[in-house]
């Protein structure tokens, strides 16, 4: 397997819900195959908008505009049939959402029905057993396959939704905070499952998360966004232990358990002073972190900093490095 081959490439992608106000601004990124890539950043910085664009869900909003290219296997998915794209990019949401009228069995194969793909009974049974086994649910539900999916616990429902996404063998899994609505013990099971999926079926996963603990536990690569732009990208080690962008450094300072050691006792939580810019400010050609940045320079107000490689696989967009 060519491990460093990109599964997805964003080329100068901008997305706006309102003309002139970009929710996602000139994003360039390569998402590696067979890796777990986390997208982090404050609420409203464009993470979900970017993720939804990958499986064309943004088109549910009539006024949305997107420019640039999103390439999967060198094909621009923005120009492909949306149903084909959704087969290639399986989505898992924050809150488990099994189809409420369907049984566990029918939930797993729902993607085939929605895509008009007919399967023989035996094929259906094999897919259901394989996918439920791959998410560690088979033994728990094999005697209740024809009960409603909603009868399961929250963690089981989320595993069912992951099985549903697995069933279509997508090229990439898109996960929008897949553990944040779950109980902590169940969160750990889902995180273990993501790692297993990567090992067992070579899954490529893009996951939005606010939780640096989750990033540390499962991610290989991390992209940090701020106010619609990608401000830093690197391996999990580079981002967690050697962050360079002032926002990423400040973010790390806000997390208690990355700083606390058994001997260090309690820490006060840091907070990042100031507020995230409003939509009206987002399109401007200047650094959007300037007002909150402890090391702002005059040029930060004049132009948006370009991304610069500062180490292998580690990129930062900040005038301190450009
Ligand atoms: P995040 O996922 O990082 O919290 P979003 O992608 O949800 O951010 O939002 C990015 C920006 O786009 C925010 O300013 C948000 O208010 C705006 N936005 C998101 N969804 C819509 C929508 N359906 N209509 C208009 N604006 C939206």
Q: With the CA atoms of 97, 101, 106 and 111 taken in that order, what torsion angle do they form, in degrees rounded to the nearest 10? A: -50
Pocket probe mutation, ligand 1, options 14, 17, 180, max atoms within 8 Å of Cβ: 17
Pocket probe mutation, ligand 1, options 16, 19, 22, 23, max atoms within 8 Å of Cβ: 23
Q: Residue 74 phi/psi, 5° resolution?
A: 65, 10
Q: Is 290 exposed, middle or buried (0-12, 13-18, 19+ CB in 10 A)?
A: middle
* Closest ligand 1 atom to Cα of 43: 4
Q: Which helix (H) or strand (E) holds 269?
A: none
* Closest ligand 1 atom to Cα of 45: 3
> Closest residue (by CA) to atom 1 of ligand 1?
44
Counting runs of H as helices and runs of E as strands, what totals does the chain give?
A: 13, 12
Mean pLDDT by 10 residues, the chain (322 residues): 77 92 93 95 94 89 93 94 92 94 97 92 97 94 97 94 94 93 86 89 92 91 95 96 94 62 53 63 78 87 93 95 84
Q: Other CB atoms closer than 10 Å to residue 315's CB: what's the count?
A: 22
Beta strand 36-40 with 221-226: parallel, antiparallel or unpaired? parallel
DSSP alpha helix (H) spans, the chain? 47-54, 82-88, 104-108, 110-114, 121-134, 138-141, 154-167, 184-201, 212-218, 236-241, 246-253, 256-259, 279-282
* DSSP bridge pairs for 205: 36, 173
Residue 255 CA to ligand 1 centre (angstroms): 24
Q: How far is CA 135 from CA 27, 114, 224, in A?
A: 33, 22, 29
Residue 102 CA to ligand 1 centre (angstroms): 31
pLDDT of residue 283: 61
Q: Residue 71 phi/psi, 5° resolution?
A: -100, 130
Q: Other CB atoms closer than 10 Å to residue 268's CB: what's the count?
A: 6
Look-up of token digits 């009206």:
280
Give the integer Cα–Cα distance in Å for 14 and 26. 5
Pocket probe mutation, ligand 1, options 24, 49, 224, max atoms within 8 Å of Cβ: 49
Residue 75 Rama label (left phi>0; alpha psi -120 to 50; beta): beta
* Closest ligand 1 atom to Cα of 61: 23
Residue 175 CA to ligand 1 centre (angstroms): 17
* Closest ligand 1 atom to Cα of 176: 2
Give the integer Cα–Cα distance in Å for 59 and 240. 34
Tokens matching residue 315: 């990129």
Pocket probe mutation, ligand 1, options 46, 91, 281, max atoms within 8 Å of Cβ: 46
> Closest residue (by CA) to atom 24 of ligand 1?
17
Tokens matching residue 111: 């993607």
Residue 49 CA to ligand 1 centre (angstroms): 6
Q: Other CB atoms closer than 10 Å to residue 115's CB: what's the count?
A: 12
Radius of gyration from C-alpha coordinates of the chain? 21
CB 244 within 8 A of CB 287: no
pLDDT of residue 21: 86
Ligand 1 shell residues, CB under 6 Å: 17, 23, 41, 43-49, 61, 279
Q: How far is CA 309 from CA 8, 102, 313, in A?
A: 19, 49, 7
Residue 168 CA to ligand 1 centre (angstroms): 28
Residue 266 CA to ligand 1 centre (angstroms): 35
């Amino acid at each position: 397997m060519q491990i460093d081959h990109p599964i997805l490439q964003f080329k100068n992608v901008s997305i706006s819900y309102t003309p002139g106000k970009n929710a996602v601004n000139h994003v360039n990124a390569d998402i590696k195959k067979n890796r777990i890539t986390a997208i982090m950043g404050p609420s409203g910085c464009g993470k979900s908008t970017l993720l939804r664009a990958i499986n064309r869900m943004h088109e549910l909003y009539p006024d949305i505009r997107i420019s640039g290219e999103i390439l999967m296997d060198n094909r621009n998915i923005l120009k492909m049939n949306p149903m084909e794209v959704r087969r290639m990019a399986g989505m898992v949401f924050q809150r488990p959402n099994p189809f409420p009228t369907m049984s566990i069995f029918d939930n797993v194969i729902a993607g085939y029905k929605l895509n008009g793909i007919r399967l023989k009974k035996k094929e259906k049974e094999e897919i259901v057993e394989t996918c439920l086994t791959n998410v560690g649910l088979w033994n728990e539900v094999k005697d209740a396959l024809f009960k409603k999916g909603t009868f399961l616990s929250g963690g089981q429902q989320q595993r069912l939704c992951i099985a549903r996404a697995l069933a279509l063998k997508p090229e990439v899994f898109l996960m929008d905070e897949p553990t944040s609505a779950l109980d902590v013990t169940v969160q750990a099971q889902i995180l273990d499952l993501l790692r297993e999926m990567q090992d067992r079926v070579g899954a490529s996963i893009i996951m939005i998360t606010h939780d640096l603990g989750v990033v540390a536990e499962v991610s290989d690569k991390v992209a940090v966004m701020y106010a619609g732009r990608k401000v830093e990208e690197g391996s999990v080690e580079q981002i967690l232990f050697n962050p360079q962008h002032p926002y990423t450094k400040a973010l790390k300072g806000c997390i208690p358990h990355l700083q606390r050691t058994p001997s260090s006792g309690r820490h006060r939580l840091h907070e990042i002073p100031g507020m995230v810019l409003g939509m009206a400010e987002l399109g401007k050609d200047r650094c959007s972190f300037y007002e909150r940045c402890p090391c702002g320079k005059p040029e930060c107000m004049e132009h948006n900093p370009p991304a610069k490689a500062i180490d292998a696989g580690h990129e930062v967009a900040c005038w301190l490095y450009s």
